[in-house]
Each structure stands twice: as C-alpha cells, then as structure tokens.
Structure 1
Amino acid sequence: MPWRAQGMMAPSPATPLGQGRALPDAAEVINLWPQGVGAGRLRDFPEVVTERSREPATIHDRALHGISTPRMAVFRPQKPNGAAVLITPGGGYVRVVIDREGYELAQFLAQRGFTCFVLFYRLPGEGWASGPETALIDAQRAIRLIRHRAATYGFDPAKVGTIGFSAGGHLCADLAARFATKAYMPIDEADAQDTRPYCAAPIYPVVSMTPPLAHAGSRTQLLGDAPTPEMEALHSPHRQIPADAPPHFIVHAEDDPAVPVGNSLALRDALKGRGIKVETHLFERGGHGFGLRNAKGLPAEIWPQLWLGWARDKGLFA
C-alpha cells in the first residue's frame, strides 16, 4: 500500500538548521510535508548537524542526520535560464552532506541561471514505516513541488533536471528509473504533477544492491542486513530502467575507493540496453566524494562544465 503523509503540523523546516552558521546561505526553505510525516516515524532521532571542516570559519563541510522534517533549500539565480535542478547530496544513507555535494553545486548552478533545490531527504535506516521507499517518497514529492511552483520561480515546469552524488546518486537514479511508481498517496494538488525528471545526472553513484558490486553501507542502511534477491533487484536502478527513462549523464573516477566504478558501468549498460541516451565520463583520478571542491587539480575537475554542455545539448536550457 502506498505510504500516506499524515499527523500533526511539523515544526518550522528552517528551525533545526537555522541557528548560528549552520545554514548561512539558505535564505528559503520548502517543507515537503506541511502536515508532517506523523505516524511514519517508528522511533525518534534528533536532527544533528556535524561540522567536519578543519577550518569552519572559512569553509564548511557539514553533514546532517536525524532528518524528521524533509525539505528543500532553494537557491535562486539573478537571471533565470528557464530550468531547475533538484540536487540530492550523498552520505551513504547515514547522513546528507550539506556543503560539498549540496550548497556548493547549487551556488555554482544558480550563478549560471538555474533555480536549484537541495533536498534533505529522510534516511531509511533511521526508522520509517515506509522502509526502503522513504527517500524515493521524498524525492517524488520534491520534484512535484518544484513543478507546482515553477511559475513562482520563473522556469519551465517541464525543465527540471536532477543531479545526485553517491547514495544521493542512487536516489537520483532510482527516481529516474521508478518515477512512475506510486510511492505515496496524494495529499494536495501538487501531487498531480509529473515525477519524471527531464534528465538525470548520477555522480559516482551507488547503483547495485547486490554484492560484490554493492556499496555495503548504503545497502545495509537501505535494505537491512539480509535483503531478499527481490529487494536487491527492486532497489538497484539499473535493473528497473523503463523504456521512457530520461537521458542520463554519469560521472565516476576509476580510483574510487568507496563505490566501485562498476556501478556506473552497470547503469550505463542498462540504459544503453533500453535505448536511453546516456553520456558517461570515467576519470583516471578523482577518488570518491569529490563534488566540486575536491576535484580541483584532478582530471575530474571538468565534470561540471561537461554537464553544462550536455544539458544544453539535451535542451534543459538554451
């Protein structure tokens, strides 16, 4: 049965992260579920922001877990180019990386005309009745809300792309593969919007849920300690590609020590097998989690410019 959002009014979505320097550049936040997720929570976790930077006064490297109020931080461009991007940061489904795989890309793209939405999705392993579908539920709701508010922000509701990193890359690929899945019951008029992204860009993504290719940590957080083969297949995006999947842009470093490059290759092969347009960039060096800042000076540094050229070619923006 599709999950239904319900319950009491949630606290302000800006409250948990709005203290001090925690979210200094998120001027606007959209709560995904205005009436809260209610009974969907099986146990309580406090929201916690962890600062991992050695020089937090000059550069942040924050991560968030215990997300009970899923939401989007909005980055508006000065000159909209007519397109929007939903960004799903990584974190192994244990946390959501705020800066390196969220805000920095959002700022970069907003400077180039994109209206950007950084998604703080619920973490399946933290105890939700919706289980492995929890993050997909939030991603589907997010893209519907983005399209529903397109006129407010000044972009074409059809032109909503997605970019995701690592476990957030899994969520990006999962949304692109299972956009037609009715993951939750509609709650308002926004839920009449389409959930198919215009295009998808999984960056060093977790894809397979089957060992040895699977990223063990993400697999456990998403599916538990002993998932069935059927669960592994359902939550491995490369095994769920529909005939009408959106075009994909895939990036991976071959020296990635955390998520084997075979994940991206499996996704590419599956897309090719279904006749879906896909562009793939494999870099000799880059490691894992490079985002923008950690790619500097490495071959992978050029990936954002490559994405811009690809997205323009695919018609996301002119």
Structure 2
Amino acid sequence: MTKTIFLLLCGCLLGVHFLYGQEKVIPLWPEGIPCENGLTEEVEQNPRGRFIRKVHEPSITVFLPGAGQANGSSVLICPGGGYTLLAWDWEGTEMAKWFNSFGVAAFVLKYRLPHWESEACRDKVALMDAARAMRLLRSRAAQWQLDPDRMGIMGFSAGGHLASTLITHFDAGQPEATLEVERFSSRPDFAILMYPVITMKEAYTHRGSRNNLIGNNPSEDAVNHFSNEEHVSPQTPPTILIHANDDKGVVPENSLLFYQALRRHGVPAALHIYEQGGHGFSFARDKGAVKGWPEVCRAWMKERGLLK
C-alpha cells in the first residue's frame, strides 16, 4: 500500500512538472490553416539561440509559472526578425521564462512570415495568427488560470509591428461562429512594444519589414492600413514602448509616433528611450543603462495592476 501511494504521488508530481516545467506547443489552426503555404520550416542555431524561417504551422508555446506562483496575468510574445525570421529564443523563450519568474504566464507565438508567403496572403497571415492566438488564450483562460482582463501582448521589432497591428485592428469575436475559439475577442488588455516597427510611411519605416509585408511598390491604401499610428483609438489598450536613441535599424521615431497617437486619444501610455542600445538588444545584459528596461517594464505592469 505504501509503495502504491508513493508511486501515485510520484506520478502526480511528474504531471505537475510537465505542466509547469516543460514547453507545450499548441497549433493555432487544428481545423485547417487558412492560406496554407506548404513550406518546410528551417531552424538555425547561433550564439543568440534558435532562429526560425519558413514557418508552416503557426503555434503557441506555453510557459506557465510554477504552481503557487501565478498571479493570473499573461502575455503573448511576438519575436522579431523583419517578417523574414523569428528570433525564437533571443526575443521569445528567454522572455517567457523571465515573465514566469514573477508569476506571469507567457505564450511565445510562432507566426507565419510574410517574406515567404504568396502575394495573396503575405499581408494577412501574421495578423491572422496573432488574432487567433489571442482568442485561443481567452478560450482557455479557465484551464490555465488566467485572468481574462489581464491578457497582454509583447512584440519586438517587426514583432512589435504585429503586436501594434493587433492592438489597433482587433475585433470582438463572432458570437455565432461554429468554432468556439472564434467567439472570443482578439483585443489584448495591454501591450509592451520593444523597439517596434510602427509606420509603413517612407520617412521612418523599416524598409525590410515594409517590403516583406506589403511589397516593394505598395499602394497608398496598404501603406496607410499598416501604419499603426494612424489607427490608434480610445479602445487601444494601455501601452509601454521601449527604444534606443541610437537605433539605426528601426529609428525611434516609430515609438514616438505611436506614443503621440496614444496621448491624442487618451490611452494610458509610457515611453522610455535610452541614449544607447542600438537595435535588437533583448535583455541588453552587456550594455549600459538600457539593461534596466526589464525592471522599468515590471514596475509599469505593477502600477497598471497587472501583478496582483
């Protein structure tokens, strides 16, 4: 009897370990992928971790805090990579583990990359995937013990463009949809934008991201549609933006434009521009003042009531 109880306890502990200590990958479109591309995914390993190209099956990778540590908040993380690749660990899984360290559930989004998509689908697939991921989080809030009013999004560089697109182009869901997941809102409750691409307009855009998303000779309508500073409204969620003044890849005017739009519409907003840091600094562990951004972000989340 004692041995049986011991084995049962071990099984329970292993189950908890699997839930909280392992990565779980959940496909976004089990019913069939819209705009399916037929690509074969490529993964490159370098000193900054894994970099993914040619995403075929979009998914979320689940990172839950340890048992008893969760505070109910969650964040969907969109790694950057110019809409060509995903800096999967540098701007994804490492961030997820950091959020877990203070009780926030994190979900890393593997979204399809416009560079590899057909002309008919390239400006649609990333936003499709981000919106479906947010609906999926909402549909499983009870299962993962998530507060449905504290579900945010974080994006880096082109992933920041995707995140800023979702917070300005969300919808409330379709109440009559056959699929339950489609009945949920795609609106995040807050946003963390890291050195984000915001505008598609010539003066300040990131040319590579723009070309990959809307082509080398986009229409004026396409440029305006994906210049997210033009689509902020009072319903846009509270946002913090973090950038470096010496960013030559995505100039800080991108964050400035979005911050000014947030202010015009009365949306709670914070903007931190560090003198040095360049582009793509992630945790910036080997840099100067910019390496303090994680605590700035965490303090902002606390002030917003996201770390109860």
- When normalised by structure 2's length, the TM-score is 0.88
CA distance in 1, matches of 2:287, 2:219: 42
Distance 1:210 1:177, change over 3 A: same
Question: 4+ runs of 1 displaced by more than 2 Å?
Answer: 128-131, 180-183, 294-297
The residue type equivalent to 2:276 in the other structure is: R
Mapping for residues 1-318 of structure 1, pairs under 5 Å:
27-37=23-33, 40-41=35-36, 44-53=38-47, 60-78=48-66, 79-128=69-118, 129-180=120-171, 188-292=179-283, 294-318=284-308
Question: What's the CA shift string for 1:220-254, capped at 9, x where partnerless?
Answer: 00001110111111001111112211011000000
Q: How far apart are 1:27 and its partner, in Å?
A: 2.1
The residue type equivalent to 2:104 in the other structure is F
CA–CA distance in 2 between the matches of 1:263 and 1:89?
17
Seen in structure 2, the aligned counterparts of structure 1 residues 213 and 241 have a Cα distance that, compared at 3 Å, is: same
- TM superposition shift of 1:182: 7.5
* Residue identity matched to 1:212: A
2:254 and 2:173 map into 1 onto residues whose CA distance is 26
More helix by share: 2
Structure with the greater alpha carbon radius of gyration? 2
1:18 maps to which residue?
none
Cα-to-partner distance string for 1:151-195 (whole Å, 9 max, x where unaligned): 111121221011110000001111111112889x95610111111
CA deviation profile, 1:56-77 (whole Å, cap 9, x unmatched): xxxx521101111000111110
RMSD of aligned Cα (Å): 1.8
Instruction: Structure 1: give runs of 5+ residues left out of the alignment.
Output: 1-24, 54-59
| Distance of 1:154 and 1:69 partners within structure 2 | 26
Which residue of 1 is the match for residue 12 of structure 2? none
How far residue 32 of structure 1 moved from its aligned partner, in angstroms, is 0.3
TM-score under structure 1 normalisation? 0.85
Provide the C-alpha distance between the structure 2 equivalents of 1:31 and 1:139, rounded to a whole number of angstroms. 12
What amino acid maps onto 1:119 in structure 2?
L
Aligned residues: 284
Q: 1:133: Cα distance to partner? A: 2.1
| Higher mean C-alpha displacement, 127-136 vs 244-253 | 127-136
Q: Is the 8 A contact 2:173 2:183 kept in 1?
A: no
What SS does structure 1 have at the residue aligned with 2:124? helix
Structure 1 stretch 155-164 or stretch 137-146: which is displaced more?
155-164
SS at match of 2:155: strand
Cα pair distance change 1:244/1:36, threshold 3 Å: same
Residue identity opposite 1:45 in structure 2: L
1: CA distance, partners of 2:162 / 2:178: 22
Letter in 1 for 2:74: A
Instruction: State the alpha-carbon separation in 1 of the partners of residues 220 and 153 from structure 2.
Output: 28
Q: Which residue of 1 aligns with 2:17?
A: none
Q: Distance in 2 between matches of 1:145 and 1:297?
A: 36
Structure 2: distance between partners of 1:259 and 1:48:
25
Letter in 1 for 2:195: Y
Aligned AA (2:151):
V
Q: Aligned letter for 2:57?
A: T
Q: Distance in 2 between matches of 1:229 and 1:181?
A: 27
Instruction: Give distance in 2, aligned partners of 1:287 and 1:61.
Output: 19
Report the Cα distance in structure 2 between the residues aligned to 1:142 and 1:27, rounded to whole angstroms.
16
Q: Which runs of 5+ in 2 are unaligned?
A: 1-20
Letter in 1 for 2:42: V
